[in-house]
Amino acid sequence: MELCEFTEGRAKIEVPKFEKVTAKTPVFYNPKMAFSRDISVSVMNAIKLKESGKVIDGLSGSGIRGLRYILESNSEVYFNDHNPAAARLIERNLKLNSLEAPITKSDFNHVYGKFEVVDIDPFGSPVRFLDGAFRILKNDSYLFLTATDTSALTGAHVSSCKRKYDSKPLKCSFTHELAVRILIGKVARNAAKYNLSVRPILSYTKEHFIRAYFEVKYGKERTNKTLNNLGFAINCKCGYREVTASFIPVCPNCGEKVSFSHPLWISNIKDSKFVSNCVKEYESRDFLNEKPLELLKVVENELDAPLFYDIHELSHIYKVKIPKTEEMIKKLKELGFDASATHFSPVSVKTNADIKDVLRCLNE
């Protein structure tokens, strides 16, 4: 079997030669996801694990993520992959980096032990691995996960989203934010079965994937409060949108029937202070790629207001000239509202202004 060597961060790995990354690739390695792994290393350093904190790279593939955690955040990492070829390759790549670490060849849902960080990075949906994750997470721990089935989460395949996430998606201008909220909502509902609460500390979407990081704590009361953060996202063709705990069948702005997504997470999808710490960690490292840092900075400064307004969409609906995003943000602030750019869309704004005030700014 012909092998290719890659260097990513401080790690070197060898993987079977491939022309295109697919689910059928013998041992999975996606060079494009180095973007995500750069951010993950910053997150790992920002959470300041206890000395006894154990990390499991639950679907290790080539082992690149776990290797980088060891080399760049000094973490105690356990590797797992049910594919024997992957397990052999991880062993080879550990030796290539002069490292030793435990490797198990198990279905992730049958992994044993207790961990302070569980990282799940599957090809597709992470849903079928959630039970396994919550079974092995300690109290006061962290869950990192990726979802690459964005076509389901963004409403291109409604039935797939309903099957996997028990949620109705919605195809609209802010569908990518809804996708993140649907994913977080599913994680929160799954965690509740184990009396665990989850709090998103960082979440973002990029191209074909969503990445979300959660703080996980044990306790029935805390879990009950977490479930109060589930509800509806309402959308109307007049531009009105809102997240709400209770369903609103008619638009308060124009009186027309609304469309909706449900259930999903209606609270904050990040912890701004934590994201700031991730930015500092990223800046303190010798990462070659500045693009993850650019994204982190946008997320850091992104207003904690659910949903966003697509300026192009509103300009088209109301037939007005399209302003620049920066001009719209400036005008909203001049009127006394909070406003920011959003990583979800370069032509959109997040604001605490309602639709009437947003339209007033647009017209002015």
Q: Count of CB atoms within 10 A of residue 189's CB?
A: 19
Residues 207 and 328 placed together within one structural domain of the fold: no
Task: Say whether pLDDT at 28 is over 80.
Answer: no
Band (pLDDT 50/70/90 cuts) for residue 77 is: very high
Residues 176 and 317 placed together within one structural domain of the fold: no
Distances (CA, A) of 336 to 235, 329, 339, 359, 360: 25, 11, 9, 15, 13
Write b or e for each residue in 164-180: b if 16 or more Cβ atoms lie within 10 A of its Cβ, otherwise e: bbebbbbebbbbbbbbb
The answer to whether the annotation marks 254 as part of a ligand binding site is: yes
pLDDT score recorded for residue 17: 79
Residues 220 and 323 placed together within one structural domain of the fold: no
Closest by CA to 166, choosing from 193, 145, 185, is: 185
The answer to whether the annotation marks 57 as part of a ligand binding site is: no
Residues 91 and 8 placed together within one structural domain of the fold: yes
Residues 263 and 340 placed together within one structural domain of the fold: no
pLDDT score recorded for residue 30: 85
Residue where one domain finishes, among candidates 284, 301, 318: 301
The answer to whether the annotation marks 107 as part of a ligand binding site is: yes
Per residue in 103-157, pLDDT (tens digit) is: 999 999 999 999 999 999 998 999 999 999 999 999 999 999 999 999 999 999 9
Name the residue with tokens 């790549």: 93
Per residue in 266-278, pLDDT (tens digit) is: 999 999 999 999 9
The answer to whether the annotation marks 236 as part of a ligand binding site is: yes
pLDDT score recorded for residue 287: 86
Band (pLDDT 50/70/90 cuts) for residue 3 is: confident
Instruction: Give percent of the chain with pLDDT exceeding 70.
Output: 97
* Number of independent structural domains in the chain: 2
pLDDT score recorded for residue 25: 63
Residue where one domain finishes, among candidates 248, 273, 301: 301
What is the domain extent for residue 314?
309-363
pLDDT score recorded for residue 288: 80
Q: How high is the mean pLDDT of the chain? A: 95
Distance between CA atoms of residues 313 and 348, nearest Å:
9
pTM as predicted: 0.96
Band (pLDDT 50/70/90 cuts) for residue 192 is: very high
Q: What is the mean pLDDT of residues 278-283?
A: 96
Per residue in 252-261, pLDDT (tens digit) is: 999 999 999 9
Task: Say whether pLDDT at 20 is over 70.
Answer: no
The answer to whether the annotation marks 189 as part of a ligand binding site is: no
Distances (CA, A) of 40 to 77, 84, 90, 292, 293: 14, 26, 19, 10, 12
β-pair type (230-235, 259-265): antiparallel
Residues 227 and 316 placed together within one structural domain of the fold: no
Residues 182 and 295 placed together within one structural domain of the fold: yes
pLDDT score recorded for residue 364: 84
The letter for the amino acid at 7 is T
pLDDT score recorded for residue 29: 83
Three-class secondary structure assignment of 60-92: CCCCHHHHHHHHHHCCEEEEECCCHHHHHHHHH
Distance between CA atoms of residues 361 and 63, nearest Å:
50
Task: Say whether pLDDT at 26 is over 90.
Answer: no
Task: Say whether pLDDT at 332 is over 90.
Answer: yes
Residue where one domain finishes, among candidates 301, 321, 343: 301
Which structure tokens are listed for 292?
Answer: 């993850």
Per residue in 217-240, pLDDT (tens digit) is: 999 999 999 999 999 999 999 999
Residue 106 maps to which CATH number?
3.40.50.150
pLDDT score recorded for residue 245: 97
Residues 208 and 320 placed together within one structural domain of the fold: no
Residues 231 and 333 placed together within one structural domain of the fold: no
Residues 202 and 322 placed together within one structural domain of the fold: no
pLDDT score recorded for residue 224: 97
Residues 295 and 223 placed together within one structural domain of the fold: yes
Residue 334 maps to which CATH number?
3.30.56.70
The answer to whether the annotation marks 251 as part of a ligand binding site is: yes
Residues 86 and 149 placed together within one structural domain of the fold: yes
The answer to whether the annotation marks 37 as part of a ligand binding site is: yes
270 burial level (CB within 10 Å; 0-12, 13-18, 19+): buried
